[in-house]
Amino acid sequence: MDAVWRRRSIRKYLPDPIPEEVVIDLLRAAMSAPSAGNEQPWQFVVIRERRLLDEVPRFHAHAQMIREAPLAILVCGEAEKAKFEGAYWVQDCAAATENILIAATAKGLGSVWLGVYPVAERMEALRRLLGIPEEIVPFALIPIGRPAEEKPPADRYDPQRVHYDRW
């Protein structure tokens, strides 16, 4: 188990389709994330239609690579499920998103986290494109595919960011 250390942002993909059972495993990983009060305030849209994927760069400047990807997963939040003080749903959805990236890495797939929330233009455009209801918040978009680029693990460990017992 070293996918968590090996994960890199992969932005070039082969066109091969991703089998359904692999997609389910990625979503199972997402739903294995912890959440405040175990609220599981998340929903997912699996985007496979070429036309839909190709629309994304029109409103998301950092999403050009999605034109190559056979698939993307949009992680969405159910903000109204947040019974706790504070917007914990954001943290919960971020954990679910990270789990998808790690599970994809473990399965030899490439993926990249594209920020959506809280950029209103991206959220609105995705709502319109995919018919997402008003109470659901598009949170992060993850293009996924067999990698067409290789990246070594990035060791970002920085001892200056680590404090012991007191700052």
Residue ranges in contact with a copy of itself by CB under 8 A: 1-7, 9, 24, 27-29, 31-34, 36, 40, 42-49, 52, 84-88, 90-92, 94-95, 97-99, 101-103, 106, 112-113, 115, 117-119, 130-133, 136, 140, 153-158, 161-167
CB of 162 to a copy of itself, least distance (A): 5
Nearer to a copy of itself, 17 or 34 (CB): 34
Nearer to a copy of itself, 22 or 106 (CB): 106
Residue 130 to residue 126: CA distance in whole angstroms? 6
| 66 DSSP 8-state letter | G
CB of 124 to a copy of itself, least distance (A): 14
Q: Are 3 and 81 in contact (CB under 8 A)?
A: no
97 token code pair: 């998103």
Nearer to a copy of itself, 27 or 69 (CB): 27
What DSSP letter does each residue of 76-143 carry, written as one string? EE-GGG--SSS-HHHHHHHHHHHHHHHHHHHTT-EE--EE-TT-HHHHHHHHHHHT--TT-EEEEEEE
CB of 32 to a copy of itself, least distance (A): 5
Nearer to a copy of itself, 9 or 58 (CB): 9
CB of 148 to a copy of itself, least distance (A): 19
104 token code pair: 């994809």
> Is residue 156 left, alpha or beta, with left meaning phi > 0 and alpha meaning psi from -120 to 50?
alpha
CB of 17 to a copy of itself, least distance (A): 14
Q: Are 13 and 70 in contact (CB under 8 A)?
A: yes
Residue 141 to residue 62: CA distance in whole angstroms? 11
Nearer to a copy of itself, 87 or 148 (CB): 87
